[in-house]
Amino acid sequence: MATIGEEEKISHRALKRVVRNPLTYWSLAPLMEIVNLREQSRAYKIWVRYLIWMMRSACSKRKKVIWMSAFTPVELAYAVGAIPILPEIIAALVSYLGWAPPFISIGNSMMSTDVCSFYRCALGLAVEGYLPRPDLIVSSSHLCDGANKFFSYLSQRYACSHLLLDPPYDTGPEAHGYVTDQLRYLLAHMVDLMAVSLSEEELCKVVGLSNTMRKYMVRINRLRMAIPAPFPGSEGLSYLAGMGFCSPGSTWGVRFSAILARELEDRVAKKRGYLDNERYRVLWLHHIRPYYQNDIFQFLSSQGVSVCFEEANYMYWPPFDPTKPLDSLAHKILSNVWAGPLERRLGAVKEMVNNYRVNGVIHFSHWGCRQSCGGASIIGDFLKDQGVPYMILYGDGADPDNYFPGQTRTRLQAFVEMLG
């Protein structure tokens, strides 16, 4: 007779087989269509379909699987016919579903708790075998400081190659040529390592799709300038940002952004805000929010505070030239306002404050993220000089153990009083 420990191991093995079985996602697709029947946003439904397609394709092994860090251009994966898997995005989804703590606990036993909880959660998922096995890992040295060692360790664990994109601090012509050459090098090695083919025509097509998605995203961002705010920042930090990371260069990205743009056009035309009574408008800084169960956005909504825009969806790169795909991707990488001098980010923050006519700014400083915490006080000084109320909200995006509801609500209440 199996002991309790043995029964747990058997249960875990069975669950892993379910999670990594492509038939699971064939069955899940129609079920989720039924679950989402009452969901009004068609764009959200496409996000769910995309996730199911991604996991089904990766688990079926009909396509190569490339693990990529956030801000590594996923267009490279689509160009070689592979499925990009971003462990940080998977960790956010796991946290949203309330499943993160046991995987974070495993990650804690293997790396410092000072490391970002998204990486610790992803490491736990990888160690326990819940993620589709990578054929290749491609990461970028910006923006996350923990990404390089995290992905390097995983490449050893899975005995697969790890390619690194290393953009420079500078953004001049030499830097552009350097990054373009790196992209050319990466693509050549991706083709060789995975034994796949790549044509110039396919690469141009993928960058063209990414450019089309960009055009729709620009339209979405303009529509979101409307008063009252037509789209909640909580969703901008979840599935909108998720598609922004995962789908550029795919038909999924174009479909999603086109439909969301149409939905927002309808809401703006009818002057429908996502809040019944919008009193104040707030800009959310940093790329993430807490994804586990919390009442941050519910509290703000109850006070008539709309999170009308978020830094995660700021369009910082210029339009692409699909006839020059690698040049275009190099421009995108080097245009990132969160890399390089802080003045670039300050300029973007000022632009967002003005364009979205906000009454205040919340900077979410995620525990373990040097990028989010490093410039927060300087941004605060800058905004205070502009007369814009500002608060730094310390917290954790993936680990609910670092969330303190009472303290958070007290600080948010004080911030709302500042807005008045």
Residue 168: which of 319, 375, 333 has the closest Cα?
A: 333
Q: Are 248 and 325 in contact (CB under 8 A)?
A: no
User: Which helix (H) or strand (E) covers residue 117, if one does?
Assistant: helix 117-127
Domain CATH code at residue 136: 3.40.50.11900
Pairing mode, if any, of strands 360-366 and 280-285?
A: parallel
Is 408 part of a structural domain of the chain?
Answer: yes
**How many folded domains does the chain comprise?**
1
Q: What is the pLDDT of residues 98-115, one digit of tens each?
A: 999 999 999 999 988 888
Which amino acid belongs to residue 138?
A: V
Structural domain of residue 378, as residue ranges?
39-419
Is 27 part of a structural domain of the chain?
Answer: no
Is 285 part of a structural domain of the chain?
Answer: yes
Q: Is 364 helix (H, G, I), strand (E, B) or coil?
A: strand
Is 34 part of a structural domain of the chain?
Answer: no
CA distances from 113 to 117, 378, 400 (A): 8, 26, 14
Q: Are 187 and 76 in contact (CB under 8 A)?
A: yes
Q: Are 149 and 141 in contact (CB under 8 A)?
A: no
Percent helix, strand, coil in the chain (nearest 5)?
55, 10, 35
Residues paired with residue 85 on neighbouring β-strands, in sequence order? 67
Pairing mode, if any, of strands 305-310 and 360-366?
A: unpaired
- Tens of each residue's pLDDT in the chain, 420 residues: 444 455 555 566 788 888 889 999 999 999 999 999 989 899 999 999 999 999 999 999 889 999 999 999 999 999 999 999 999 999 999 999 999 999 999 999 998 888 899 999 999 999 999 999 999 999 999 888 778 889 999 999 999 999 999 999 999 999 999 999 999 999 999 999 999 999 999 999 999 999 999 999 999 999 999 999 999 999 999 999 999 999 999 999 999 999 999 999 999 999 999 999 999 999 999 999 999 999 999 999 999 999 999 999 999 999 999 999 999 999 999 999 998 899 999 999 999 999 999 999 999 999 888 777 778 999 999 999 999 999 999 999 999 999 999 999 999 999 999 998
- Report whether the peptide linkage leading into residue 228 is cis, meaning its omega lies within 30 degrees of zero: yes
Is 6 part of a structural domain of the chain?
Answer: no
Q: Are 402 and 396 in contact (CB under 8 A)?
A: yes
Instruction: Compute the distance between CA of residue 245 and CA of residue 312 in angstroms, rounded to an integer.
Output: 10
Instruction: Compute the distance between CA of residue 87 and CA of residue 151 in angstroms, rounded to an integer.
Output: 10
Q: What is the pLDDT of residues 121-179, one digit of tens each?
A: 999 999 999 999 999 999 999 888 778 889 999 999 999 999 999 999 999 999 999 99
Instruction: Compute the distance between CA of residue 209 and CA of residue 142 in angstroms, rounded to an integer.
Output: 24
Is 24 part of a structural domain of the chain?
Answer: no
Is 271 part of a structural domain of the chain?
Answer: yes
Is 250 part of a structural domain of the chain?
Answer: yes
Sheet-wide strand order for 390-395: 305-310, 280-285, 360-366, 390-395
